[in-house]
Amino acid sequence: MKKEVLGIKIDDVNIDQAVEVVVGWLKRGGKHYIVTPNPEIIVMAQQDKELKDILNQADLAVPDGIGLKIGSDILNICPGIDLMEELIKQSLDYGFTIGLLGGKSGVAEKAADCLLRKYPKLKITFVSDGGVIDENGEMTGQVVSSKYYVLREETDKSKNTHNTKYIIPDTDLLFVGFGPPKQEKWIAENLKKIPVKVAMVVGGSLDYLSGKVPRAPKFIRKIGFEWLFRLIREPWRIKRQLALIEYLRLLMLS
C-alpha cells in the first residue's frame, strides 16, 4: 500500500512482502526498479524534481530508515541492505543471476568474492565499480576491468579502428550502489537499455558485503539505532545526519 511522506510515495511493506513482490517480477519477466527512500533522500528530493519523479515512479519504494515512522503512518521498515541480502539468498533457490555495480575502486569485486565464499553456487554475471558517475547519473571516465566482465569487440571498418567495450550481460537482479541521487538517475536513464529485469539502488551496501564497513550488531539494528552506530564509527557522516533535522523541520511545516 502506497503512503506519502513529504510528497514521496512509499510502499509500506516489510522484507518478506518486498521479496515476494520482486520474486514475482522475476518469474513473470518485464523491467522494474526498486528505490529505498529514507529521510536523507526525501529531503534531497525536495530540491531535485528529477529525483522526486524517479522515486515516485519506482515500481517499489521500500521504507528504508526508522526515521520514516516519525510524523507518518508508515508501519514497516525495510532496510535496503537487508532486502538486498534476502534477494541474494532467494537467487540461490530460484537460480536468478545477479550483478553488482558501484562502490569505490575494488569494492564491488571484493563484495562478489565474499558472496561467492558464502554462497558458492551464486550466479554472478557482472561486477564493476562503474567508473566515474556524475550528479546526473552519467557514467564517465574509464570503467575498471574485472574478471566478471563480458567483453564485446567491435571493428569500425570505415575508420579502421578496433574497440573493446564492456557490456552488461543478461542479468536478473542488478544492484546499483553509486549513492543518491546518482544511482537513482543512472537506473532511470539506463534500465531500458540494458538486459536487466530488476534494478535496485543499494547505496553503500557493497561496503558492508565486502567487509570494508562492519554493520551494527543485530540488537542495535532492532531498536533502530544503527544510524548512531555508523555515526560513531564514521564521524564524517554527521553532515548527512543533519538531513534528519531538516526532515523534521519539513514535517512540522507540512
pLDDT of residue 143 exceeding 50: no
> Regarding predicted confidence, which is higher, 3 or 225?
3
CB 142 within 8 A of CB 131: yes
- pLDDT score for 149: 42
- pLDDT score for 232: 64
CB 118 within 8 A of CB 92: no
Grid cell digits, residue 4: 506519502
pLDDT of residue 155 exceeding 70: no
| pLDDT class of 61 with cuts at 50, 70, 90 | very high
pLDDT of residue 164 exceeding 50: no
Place of cell 521479496: 19
Beta-strand relationship, 2-5 and 8-11? antiparallel
Beta-strand relationship, 123-128 and 97-102? parallel
Question: What percentage of the chain carries pLDDT values higher than 90?
Answer: 56
- pLDDT score for 106: 85
Of 45-54, 85-94, 209-218, the poorest mean pLDDT is in 209-218
Place of cell 562492519: 214
The average pLDDT across 44-53 equals 96
Place of cell 558517475: 133
Question: What percentage of the chain carries pLDDT values higher than 70?
Answer: 75
CB 131 within 8 A of CB 139: yes
- pLDDT score for 5: 95
CB 187 within 8 A of CB 176: yes
Rounded Cα gap, residues 205 and 103, in angstroms: 9
Could you give the residue ranges of the DSSP H alpha helices within 78-191?
80-94, 107-118, 182-190
- pLDDT score for 151: 40
Greatest mean pLDDT among 17-21, 206-210, 235-239: 17-21
> Regarding predicted confidence, which is higher, 182 or 154?
182
Average pLDDT for the chain: 83
Rounded Cα gap, residues 131 and 19, in angstroms: 30
CA angle 134, 211, 196 (to 5 degrees): 50
Rg (CA), the chain: 18
> Regarding predicted confidence, which is higher, 110 or 168?
110
Looking from the CA of 4 toward its CB, the CA atoms found within 13 Å total: 6
Closest CA to 35 of 132, 236, 178, 167: 178
Q: What is the pLDDT of residues 214-253, one digit of tens each?
A: 666 676 766 666 666 665 666 656 666 677 888 889 998 8
